[in-house]
Amino acid sequence: MQDDLQSAGETPSRIEPRKLLALGLVVGVSALTLAAVLGSGTSDAGFGRTDMPSLLTPPALDEPEAITPRGYLYGGNEYLPDPGRPRRDPDAREAVSEPADPSTREIAVQVMPGDTLGQILDRNEISRQDAQDAITALKAVFDPRRLTPGQGVTLDVVETDGTLTLARLQIEAEPGRRSFAERQDSGKFSAGEEHDPITVETTAYSGTIESSLFASGERAGLSPTVLTQLIQLFSYDVDFQRDIQKGDRFEVMVDRRTLPDGTKVGDGEIDYASLTLSGQKLVLYRFEDGTGLVDYYNDKGQSVRKALLKTPVDGARITSGFGMRNHPVLGFSKMHKGVDFGAPIGTPVYAAGDGVVEKAEAWGAYGNYMRIRHTNTYSTAFGHLSGYAKGIKAGVRVRQGQVVAYSGNTGRSTGPHLHYEVLLNGDQVNPLNIKMPSGRALAGGELRQFQTRRAAMDRTFAGLGGNPAETAAATPADAPKRR
């Protein structure tokens, strides 16, 4: 064969040993370099640790910040979150977004002057619908118009995602009594009241009059409510301007109501009262007859109520009497056909007796005027009023002692006062001189029941330090003498 090759002119070349060695070195170096790149950062060739991290797939991690596994970079011996990848829950498609847990809180508010319940709810971000529904329900137990400065209002609200829902509205209607409107499961509001237990204790008061019955009564501990009732009850027989003198005395027995902590929450009706005027004693007792009618009677069982009140305002002083006088506006002598009582504008005016309103309107020099017909014989009239009580107009029937108007300074007037007239068969007469007919007198079985009741009250009053036996014995049948 060699001979054949030689005859063709081609002779096989032989590889020199030098070239084989060089080729082996090249292959070896290449292999070592590839191992270094794919290895753990070191090589037998002594390349050392690489400074650039390699992208790897790390094992599963339990850290709370774990994200998609390929979102990690390997740096040395640590796995670090890749800031360039979105952070998400791999099971996000199955999770439901729940709203924040609702929180309940209480808002305590003190009523300020001029506040209305609607304004209070609006200021505290209660929706208009919740406010309307709660106030409408509350009206069943509390009139929102009676809201007064100082009262406490409590709102229970539920807050969900920044939205407030009213759960309960509560008002301190009076000490020991709370009125509320509460949301039911149906979403509607219902109203109710809560009452603290009240203790009733019979209490006696007495004192000597120094300047006025009202001032002396307050010093003795009587509340303004009881004093007002006391004055009204004796107004049928007593002219509190002319009949009261320094040194006269008063006695009152009334039920006091207190809460468990001793806080006084009010007084009941007067059970017994007396006035000693210039040595003469007037007494009265509270008695409920067989028909359920409650009234006050003297020791003889005669009702203290008369046809007309002598004084239709509380605590007012007489500034001008009945008769001829120099008119303060006109400047000449003129007959004054009534009695003027000095009273601040807005002082309540009481109906002097049961009757029907004949006129309630502006009328010449009288200003705002009112006339009430009591019987075919008697009528009463008021002048210079600042206004009329709610619902009062011509044709309305009123009860004795009912607030029908308010004193003022309208018409021909030089200052705030009430002009009061009594008309007998249409003619003005002096209200202070007429003899008012007595009211009802008990008889038969009712009189005997009253006497039993009167004796029991006398014993109670005596046990509290009073002297009712002397009171009853010294009580005259008629009103005290005029001075």
Return d(Cα 317, Cα 332) in angstroms, integer: 24
Looking at residue 361, its pLDDT comes to 95
Q: Specify whether the CB–CB gap between 171 and 151 falls below 8 A.
A: yes
* CA distances to 139, 156, 194 from 107, in Å: 21, 6, 19
How many other C-beta atoms can be found within 10 angstroms of the C-beta atom of residue 181? Answer: 23
Return d(Cα 29, Cα 445) in angstroms, integer: 139
* CA distances to 35, 58, 212, 415, 480 from 230, in Å: 116, 96, 13, 28, 17
103-195 adopts what CATH topology? Nuclear Transport Factor 2; Chain: A, (3.10.450)
Q: Specify whether the CB–CB gap between 158 and 121 falls below 8 A.
A: no
Cα-atom radius of gyration of the chain, to the nearest Å? 49
- The answer for residues whose C-beta is within 8 angstroms of residue 329's C-beta and 6 or more apart is 412, 413, 414
Looking at residue 155, its pLDDT comes to 93
Q: Specify whether the CB–CB gap between 207 and 220 falls below 8 A.
A: yes
Q: Does domain 198-306+438-483 have CATH number 3.10.450.350?
A: yes
Looking at residue 319, its pLDDT comes to 74
Looking at residue 35, its pLDDT comes to 52
Looking at residue 20, its pLDDT comes to 52
Structure tokens given for 260? 């468990």
The whole model's pTM is what?
0.50
How many other C-beta atoms can be found within 10 angstroms of the C-beta atom of residue 104? Answer: 11
Q: Specify whether the CB–CB gap between 386 and 409 falls below 8 A.
A: yes
- Three-state DSSP class for residue 348: strand
Secondary structure element (H or E) that encloses residue 2, with its range? helix 2-8
Would you say the C-alpha torsion 145, 146, 152, 154 has a positive or negative sign? negative
Return d(Cα 409, Cα 419) in angstroms, integer: 10
The residue extents of the domains of the chain are: 103-195, 198-306+438-483, 317-429
317-429 adopts what CATH topology? Glucose Permease (Domain IIA) (2.70.70)
397 DSSP β-pair partners: 356
Q: Are strands 368-373 and 152-160 parallel, antiparallel or unpaired?
A: unpaired
How many other C-beta atoms can be found within 10 angstroms of the C-beta atom of residue 308? Answer: 25
User: What are the backbone angles phi and psi of residue 80, rounded to the nearest 5°?
Assistant: -120, 140
| Positions in the chain whose pLDDT score sits under 70 | 1-102, 241, 315-316, 321-334, 336, 435-439, 466-483
Looking at residue 258, its pLDDT comes to 86
Looking at residue 398, its pLDDT comes to 92
In which region does residue 88 sit, left (phi positive, over 0), alpha (psi from -120 to 50) or beta (all else)?
Answer: beta
Return d(Cα 7, Cα 200) in angstroms, integer: 150
198-306+438-483 and 317-429, same CATH topology: no
- The answer for residues whose C-beta is within 8 angstroms of residue 165's C-beta and 6 or more apart is 127, 130, 157, 158, 159, 183
Closest CA to 237 of 1, 44, 437: 437
Return d(Cα 364, Cα 368) in angstroms, integer: 8
**Helices in 192-312 by DSSP H: which ranges?**
213-220, 224-234
- Residue with structure tokens 């208009």? 128
**Helices in 221-365 by DSSP H: which ranges?**
224-234
According to DSSP, residue 291 is labeled T
